Amino acid sequence: MMVIRPIQEGDLKPLYRLTELTGIGFTSLVTDEAMLQKKIDRAVKSFAREDINQPTDEDYLMVLEDTTTGQIVGTCGMLATVGLDEPFYSYHLGTITHASRELNVHNAVPTLILNNDFTGCSEICTLFLEESYRHSKNGQLLSKSRFMFMAQFPQRFTPKIFAEMRGVSDENGVSPFWESLGRHFFSIDFKQADELTAQGNKQFIAELMPNNPVYVNLLPKEAREVLGEVHKNTAPARHLLEKEGFRYENYVDIFDGGPSLEARVQDIRAVRDSRLKKVEITECPEEPQATVFLVSNTKVKAFRCLLIQRNVSREGSIKLTQQEADALCLTHEDQIRIVELSSDPQPNNV
């Protein structure tokens, strides 16, 4: 059985193993044991807090566990806020108009403007699924489990939430956008810049990045073509978020030009359509033609989420097997949150 749960103190080694599979450009997890342990500690403390009425600096990191083998095969995360302790930078793709009546010229020129517009917003991040598990709707479970947590605990997040999507780079980690813009100001490789920001070192951005608008037309064609586009492995994740209600509003990453998608939490489909039901633990015959549901408990520290395939009526309780109830840390007549799982491609990483 595949189960989503909060990361635990003993998960350092399996989490480190996953970071070795992510590749260049996956900045929310780095292959560094000390930093990973720090992230685990922060997540454990965040899930342990029961008295949260508004979001602050919480970092919720969850993992996908194959209970048959005990192996951790994926991660997903949520940041309660960004940009409060250190600046959060992005580019906004806007327009500057140049006009001359005398020459009868009117040009609308696209520009990139450095900003901190996402300061104070919640972010979903750190989505990665091991390649051998990219089947059986595991990717959907991994990504959408975050929305079940948000639906149950809306006070832990801001009304608006966003996701920074991984931009285009080749198999060697070379980003056309970085090579055409960032390298001229930072004089370092894309990989090194990514690693510095992953380590929390963002002061160099303020020191070296130009505050003046960047005229997009002056960038090489290969940089313009990837602006607002995602890495090939991230395309399914983008599609899934857009199906859930996220939209691209012309914000892009300052390093690789990848898009930032945003949504109002209450407008996310899985949040809006989820509902609470009471649990009935009983024998459940297999129903291969039934609807697939995301189901989660209503706990914080012991949050659990998994998929079931069942015919469920709008009224009354939901039937779970004893194995499913145990995996969800539930007993008879406990409350459970459910929502239909829409049919989307498998998201692999952000």
Q: Which residues are catalytic?
A: 231
Backbone torsions φ then ψ of 209, nearest 5 degrees = -80, 135
Distances (CA, A) of 165 to 4, 125, 204, 274: 22, 9, 22, 25
Q: Which three-class secondary structure state does DSSP give residue 231?
A: coil
Distances (CA, A) of 270 to 152, 275, 280, 291, 347: 11, 10, 23, 15, 16
Residue 343 CB coordination number (10 Å): 9
* DSSP per-residue codes, 92-158: EEEEEEEEETTTTEEEEEEEEEEE-TTTT-EEEEEEEE-GGG--TTHHHHHHHHHHHHHHH-GGGS-
CA distance 129 to 72: 10
